[in-house]
Amino acid sequence: MKNIIKNIYLFSILGVIFMLNSYGCADHFKYAKFSGKEPELNITIDYISSWLHREHKQIDNRYASVVFFENIQNNNYKAKMAVTISDNLKSEASLSNLEEMVNDLVAKRLKFKDAKLLSTAKAVIFGSDAREAVFTYKAMSKFYSKDAKLMPVKERIFIFKRGDKHYLLRYENSLEEFDKYNPAFTHIVKTISIND
């Protein structure tokens, strides 16, 4: 009888572990650490280790960004995650508070083809108040191709302000593939560190 109870207990634990791994409660991604080379890109953050990344800095230093994207060797649509840091003092539209930043972002995104704001929420990122917004809209299915068509895309964005800088973290993917990397994005947002 003791062996039967032990076996039931063991199978129950194995079942829970299997369910956690199979239904998205466990993160199966391997991560690498990114640190900005440019002083304007003053962050350290995880990214999916199999992805590529590119840094970009505007000439007049109004913003710097890094884009992480799937390592797929074709011109089809690729999932991407990005961090953009803009200097509020140098930007064209100087937005003083978080609500103005969010309202500006929402107004710009709603100009996209078939755009819908799905949700907004409050968050805290690296000790700063943040806002999250989730959108759907249409984007081109391929890059640099005459065969490109509009396809549904989903985007999740976090925005916050620290000092005189705005930080925008975003994840964009096709609507049907969005859930594939959303858990990774959730992890990545939690790992941002600002090197003041």
- Tokens encoding 70: 């799937």
How confident is the prediction for the chain on average, in pLDDT?
A: 82
Three-state DSSP class for residue 171: strand
Q: How confident is the model at residue 23 (pLDDT cuts 50, 70, 90)?
A: very low
Residue with token string 């800095």: 57
* Phi and psi, residue 184, nearest 5°: -65, -40
Q: How far apart are CA 117 and CA 155, in angstroms?
A: 10
Per-residue pLDDT of 88-101, as tens digits, reads 654 555 556 788 88
Whether pLDDT at 4 is above 90 = no
Domains of the chain: 29-194 (3.40.1000.10)
Closest CA relative to residue 95, chosen from 170, 168, 194, 161: 161
Q: How far apart are CA 62 and CA 59, in angstroms?
A: 8
Q: How far apart are CA 125 and CA 41, in angstroms?
A: 17
* Furthest C-alpha separation in the chain: 76
